Structure 1
Amino acid sequence: MGLHGVGADARDEREATSTGRDGGARPPAPEPTTGPLERVPESGSPEGVDTQREPAASARSTARETVPVGTRIDAWWANLLRTPGRRALWTWGGPIAVTLLAAVLRFWNLGHPQAIVFDETYYVKDAWTLLANGYESAWPEGANEDFARGDTDVFSDDPAYVVHPPLGKWMIGLGMALFGADSAFWWRASTALAGTVAVFVLTMVGRRLFRSTLVAVIAGLLLAIDGNAIVMSRVALLDNWVMLFALFGFWFVLLDRTATESRLRERLAALRDGGGDPHWGPVIWARPWVIAAGIAFGAATAVKWSGLYFIAAFGIYLVLVDAMARRRAGLGFWVEGALFKQAPATFLLLVPVAGVVYLASWTGWLVTDGGYYRGWADEPGNAATGFWSWVPHSLQSLWHYHQAAYGYHVGVASPHPWQANPLTWPISLRPTNMYFASTIDGSGGCGQGECWSSIMGIPNPIIWWAATLATGYLVYRFARYREWTAGAILIGVAAGYLPWLMYLGRTVFQFYTIAYEPYLLLALAAVLGIVLGRRDDPRWKRQQGIATVAVFLGVAAAVSLFFLPLWTAMPVTPDFRQLHFWLPGWG
């Protein structure tokens, strides 16, 4: 069974249809069963059908006549969603429910602690000065404590040297722009909103991939309750925005996959009806979802340069999508058509759009004259001569800024007690301790004399380790069956993780994994969908699948509840805090 059918009926999702065997909402229009990263059978067999697996399907059909299928839960669910209105309620109610759960876990007591936490020392204060001056400005020593007390205007007009683009800080500044910076709640609110919205977007992506509202909701639930996602939504850092914008881009790429193949077939049909021979096939320019993806990936890059890897990875994916679509359409020169006709058009729809978004994020720096390096090209001997002399000095100065920032990024290696080698990220060997406070006078609120409070970016270990194993299993599924869903998910994981293996000597942290965590959780949701099985499986198998998934989700939720105090700075006793350090690197 391909991943596109996990946890659902063999005919896409068609939940609670007239067959009465299903239990969910009618999904979006089915996507092609094959994709750019799957094997297309030869010898004239139907596309997307593994002919070696057909006997198993026949055996299933024969066994269905003698072996009881379905469970009481299936019957109850089908009866519950027997009307179109109820099915529509589940279609949107399920994703909304897990999104609301995410909102509670991210916004509850968000203003605690009323202190600058970890790298908030850069991004919150930078965001505030961006709002005031249009560029990041310098702060005096001890400004963190002043800022937390509400004395937020002690910055100067001197520029500060920063090495990340401005968009993430503009986004952090949204809450402060509306409600001021006196409360930590408002300097974290927009980041919490980003983490909440990401849960909803992930359910939409999951439904597009799996054609199952249930499996999509499971993916959203996993993101809603995971510790890494909760912590990164409750501190005003940049990485949550990279994750959200890249996830939007992935969703748009999936939407384009269906729409563009449909347009390609329509164009080819028109050409053939007119007696023409399309040869390499037409160029499809009407691809609004690619433009939308360019905007999203450009925004991710305008938060952190690591967004560039998502542009590159999914740009290549789009070329593969086009190539396989042309092959399925019967074009003889499908490779040449994809590479030399469609790929240049796709590039123009994606990359320049991303570039415009990226450049626009620097508007505040460009339209003012106080930013760091802003007047570099105006200084004698710095401006370009010859061919590049026509470039405005402001853009020449911006280019020099980028050169300097790149040199910093590739060379930063200052030791940090909570740095984590990327090779250890899959098991979360060294999560980041972002905040610690203690009291010994009985005033801490934990019921004892000594109380400790922490914000530790420990992912839910049950979810994280299972997602790592599931990702490995998807590698096998892709290698064995060429499932397009597995390939698409793995590209997201690769874009977020593999580039960091080139910088093993650089100072990096476990929380960077939030950028690709949604794809890990999609992998886990896919495997859970396989375990769930289908409603026409033998009853014993279906019962075992439902029980296994229910137990896993129940245990994962219990573990999240257990770790919640360490994710939200609740006061606890030292002994209780120590119980959470399951690996040596966690303490």
Structure 2
Amino acid sequence: MGLHGVDAGARDGHGEPPPDEDAGGPDDASRRASGEPAASVAPSAAPRQAVGTRLDAWWAHLLRTPRRRALWMWGGPIAVTLLAAVLRFWNLGHPQAVVFDETYYVKDAWTLLANGYESAWPEGANEDFARGDTEVFSDDPAYVVHPPLGKWMIGLGMALFGADSAFWWRASTALAGTVAVFVMAMVGRRLFRSTLVAVIAGFLLAIDGNAIVMSRVALLDNWVMLFCLIGFWFVLLDRAATESRLRERIAALRADGGDPHWGPVIWARPWVVAAGVAFGAATAVKWSGLYFIAAFGLYLVLVDAMARRRAGLGFWVEGTLLKQAPATFLLLVPVAGLVYLASWTGWLVTDGGYYRGWAGEPGNAATGFWSWVPHSLQSLWHYHQAAYGYHVGVASPHPWQANPLTWPIAWRPTNMYFASTTDGSGGCGQAECWSSIMGIPNPIIWWAATLAAVYLVYRFAHYREWTSGAILVGIAAGYLPWLIYLNRTVFQFYTIAYEPYLLLALAAVIGLVLGRPDDPRWRRQQGIGTVAVFLGVALAVSLFFLPLWTAMPVTPDFRQLHFWLPGWG
């Protein structure tokens, strides 16, 4: 599975084990780290122990040709992606109503398409918009506190097919959630070197309630999740490529008679540039993307340091901090900044946006050293100062707000929509029917993933597994900064930004439980059985909660059965 020490050396020269597409369990290096004997090492006097199962033999026979293995490597991720598409696009236009914070982002997206900046709407515009009267906005600017990119992305479906149907104002967000499942599988294969465990990781994201709900309402957070996950994928791709390139450069220097104590600077890192684009896009949706830039920027520095240490460089710390780290910064952060600034193009090239003419008013423009900055950028900077003041100070009580300390157990998921009928027309088979969109994560998956993340902290501390460390960086970037704002009004659905890393933690533990085909038969059978039961129960729970995730009409009593914690009702 590729769980081994980040600085303990590697068998293929770049910190990752060779691919193991069929096994789905830990490799021998992991076994040695955890105290388990490798399957190929046994006392010579001991009788030969039966290994593997009939299922393993059948699977190996099924994938006996390169073409079949390639079909599985791509077919498995595509299959869970198609499952995600069904769960996200089915009946997406229901309800034909502006749901929760769609009141901001959908209407903002529509006015961005029309005016290039977010514009004001009259009172009661939600009902008009849902009925198809979408042209009641004015040219006056609206004060918004999030960057524009997420709203531009929401507007894609409406730009192509109009805003008359809720399906089209949610379609691009549903597509983002679907694509995220495929990216999740690609990340899982890069981390675990097992298509099976990667597909399980994608399956968990495909069927989880938080991920489904956030793909079926046109909010911003799903885009933060997708862009950050893509950025993480690019960071992992860079990790392998750069260490290989570093070793080649060091070998070439030594072959020429040099003594590279500090090591060379590696500038050819296209995946770092690509990660900068992805993390910059996330920040251009919500500023919380900045935490991912900082976390994975630091991760790249640490990975570079360990690579130089493994390469035998004498001054690996100095070489990292004084040579490679500045280069990595220039490849990552300015690129992210340019992407972020580009997201404001609509605001910059028009003159009607909020605060757009601020610097042109008497007494506002900068003097002295900063007077050369164009008024448009000075106005944009003032806008950011005002928005930052809002973000740090917002504390309006909300009935569905959730303290970040409770997010790991999902104590207070967000109820985004509720409707009821009492005349028998609701479609649930009784006179009174209720419909809800509640961001309740699948509790079996969510609680198991939380425990798995805690376990990965132990494994990283004890065994220094690079995979555990990489996953924990994603969790930390998405969760820990919110602990600074315990008095701020925040919601459980913000967890979608780091949910993929939680599920990767769960997939990592599932891979350990599965074991390998060369494990003793009893252990392998128990592992496969345990994982099969867990995944079966998780799927059943998702089917049970699906009505509350998709606004299907149900009876009040049936709805009440889903409130497993007091905070859910």
So what's the TM-score if we normalise by structure 2? 0.95
Aligned residue in 2 for 1:167 = 149
Q: Look up the equivalent residue of 2:295 and give its one-letter code.
A: A
Shift of 1:52: 7.0
Contact 2:180–2:229 (CA<8 Å) still a contact in 1? Answer: yes
How many angstroms apart in 2 are the aligned matches of 1:388 and 1:493?
39
1:55 shift after superposition: 8.0
SS where residue 57 of structure 1 aligns?
A: coil
| Pick aligned residue for 2:139 from 142, 157, 182 | 157
Task: Specify the code of the residue in structure 2 equivalent to 1:187.
Answer: W
State the match for 1:109 in structure 2. 91
Contact 2:19 2:194 in 1 (8 A): yes
Candidates 443, 454, 459, aligned match of 1:477: 459
Q: Distance in 2 between matches of 1:578 and 1:321?
A: 49
Determine the C-alpha separation between the residues in 1 that align with 2:68 and 2:362.
Answer: 71
1:23–1:77 Cα contact (<8 Å) kept: no
Matched residue SS, 1:3: coil
Conservation of the 8 A alpha-carbon contact between 2:33 and 2:463: no
C-alpha separation between the residues in 2 aligned to 1:400 and 1:428? 37
C-alpha distance in 1 between matches for 2:489 and 2:43: 59
SS state of the match for residue 420, structure 2? strand
Distance across 1 between alignment mates of 2:39 and 2:326: 45
Aligned to 1:28: none
1:328-364 Cα deviation digits (max 9, x unpaired): 0000000000000000000000000000000000000
Deviation at 1:49, TM superposition (A): 7.9
Q: Does 1:69 align with 2:51?
A: yes
- 1:446-465 equivalent positions in 2, closer than 5 A: 446-465=428-447
Matches within 5 A, 1:36-55: none
Distance in 1 of aligned mates of 2:36 and 2:424: 70
Give the partner amino acid of 1:145: E
Distance in 1, matches of 2:34 and 2:404, equals 39
Cα distance change on mapping 1:49 and 1:509 into 2, 3 Å: closer
Structure 1 position 59, deviation (Å):
8.4
Contact kept? 2:17, 2:193, Cα under 8 Å: no
Give secondary structure in 1 for the equivalent of 2:437.
strand
Amino acid at match of 2:402: A
Find the counterpart in structure 2 of residue 390 from structure 1.
372
Change (3 A) 1:533 1:394: same
Which residue is 1:578 aligned to? 560
Match of 1:403 in 2: 385
Work out whether residues 418 and 430 of structure 1, in 8 Å CA contact, stay in contact via their aligned partners in 2: yes
Q: Is the 8 A contact 1:246 1:307 kept in 2?
A: yes
Alignment of 1:220 with 2:202, yes or no, is yes
Counterparts in 2 of 1:221 and 1:372: CA distance versus 1, 3 Å = same
> In the alignment, what sits opposite 1:3?
3
CA contact (8 A) 1:23 1:78 kept: no
Structure 1 residues 469 and 455, CA gap change in structure 2 (3 angstroms): same
Matching of residue 122 in structure 1 with residue 104 in structure 2? yes
**Aligned mates of 1:297, 1:148 — CA distance in 2:** 33
Alignment of 1:93-242 (within 5 A): 93-242=75-224
Partner secondary structure for residue 62 of structure 1: coil
2: distance between equivalents of 1:49 and 1:548? 21
1:501 counterpart = 2:483:
yes
Q: How far did residue 61 of structure 1 move?
A: 3.1
Q: Which of 421, 427, 431 does residue 445 from structure 1 map onto? A: 427
- Asked if the contact 1:452–1:573 (Cα under 8 Å) also holds between the matched residues in 2, the reply is yes
Deviations 1:78-128 (A, max 9, x none): 111111111111000000000000000000000000000000000000000
Three-state SS of the structure 1 residue aligned to 2:436 is: strand
Structure 1 position 433 matched with structure 2 position 406: no
Q: Does 1:490 align with 2:472?
A: yes
In structure 2, the gaps of 5 or more residues are 6-15
Counterpart Cα distance in 1 of 2:107 and 2:30: 56
Q: Secondary structure at the match of 2:329?
A: helix
Are the aligned partners of 2:34 and 2:463 in contact in 1 as well (CA < 8 Å)?
no
For 2:360, the equivalent position in structure 1 comes to 378
Distance 2:183 2:486 in 1: 32
* CA distance in structure 2 between the partners assigned to 1:352 and 1:92 by the alignment: 34
| Counterparts of 1:65 and 1:264, CA distance in 2 | 46
Are the counterparts in 2 of residues 227 and 567 from structure 1 also a CA contact under 8 Å?
A: yes
Runs of at least 4 residues of structure 1 off by over 6 A? 48-55
User: Shift of the alpha carbon at 1:182?
Assistant: 0.1
Equivalence for 1:412? 394
Query: How many angstroms apart in 1 are the aligned matches of 2:40 and 2:166?
Result: 61
TM-score, normalized by length of structure 1? Answer: 0.93
Q: Report the Cα offset of residue 573 of structure 1.
A: 0.3
Cα deviation for residue 62 of structure 1 reads 3.4
Alpha-carbon contact 2:413-2:438 (below 8 Å) kept: yes
Counterpart of 2:9 in structure 1 is none
Amino acid at match of 1:522: L
Residue correspondence of structure 1 range 277-426 to structure 2 within 5 A? 277-426=259-408
- SS of 1:414's equivalent? coil
Residues in 2 aligned to 1:192 and 1:586: alpha-carbon distance in whole angstroms: 24
Query: Contact 1:314/1:491 (CA < 8 Å) preserved in 2?
Result: yes
Equivalent position amino acid for 1:304 in 2: K
Which string of whole-angstrom CA distances, capped at 9 and with x for unpartnered residues, describes residues 479-516 of structure 1?
00000000000000000000000000000000000000
Residue 546 of structure 1, CA deviation: 0.2
CA contact (8 A) 2:39 2:519 kept: no
Distance 2:33 2:428 in 1: 61
Using a 3 Å threshold, how does the CA distance of structure 1 residues 342 and 542 change in structure 2: closer, same or farther?
same
From 48, 56, 61, give the equivalent of 2:37. 56
After superposition, the C-alpha distances for 1:369-427 in whole angstroms (9 at most, x for unaligned) are 00000000000000000000000000000000000000000000000000000000000
49-58 or 242-251, which deviates more: 49-58
2:155 partner amino acid: G
CA contact (8 A) 2:80 2:202 kept: yes
Matched, 1:563 2:545: yes
Q: 1:485 to 1:116 in 2, by over 3 A?
A: same
Pairwise CA distance, 1:14: 3.7
* Paired-residue identity, %: 88
| Alignment partners' CA distance in 2, 1:52 and 1:368 | 60
CA distance in 2, matches of 1:436, 1:108: 19
Please give the secondary structure, in 2, of the residue aligned with 1:56. Answer: coil
CA distance in 1, matches of 2:494, 2:18: 35
CA contact (8 A) 1:150 1:182 kept: yes
Letter of the 1:382 partner, please give it: N
Do the aligned partners of 1:4 and 1:12 also contact (CA within 8 Å) in 2? no
1:114-159 Cα distance to aligned partner (Å, 9 max, x none): 0000000000000000000000000000000000000000000000
Question: By how many angstroms is 1:60 displaced?
Answer: 4.6
**Mapped partners of 1:103, 1:312: distance in 2:** 32
- Tell me the CA shift for residue 474 of structure 1: 0.2
Q: What is the rounded CA distance, in whole Å, between the counterparts of 1:4 and 1:506 in structure 2?
A: 39
Amino acid at match of 1:519: Y
- CA deviation profile, 1:19-43 (whole Å, cap 9, x unmatched): xxx569xxxxxxxx9xxxxxxxxxx
Do structure 1's residue 88 and structure 2's residue 70 form an aligned pair? yes
Separation (CA, whole Å) in 2 of partners of 1:254 and 1:221: 21
Native 8 Å contact 1:428 1:459 kept in 2: yes
Q: In structure 2, what is the Cα distance between the partners aligned to 1:67 and 1:254? A: 38
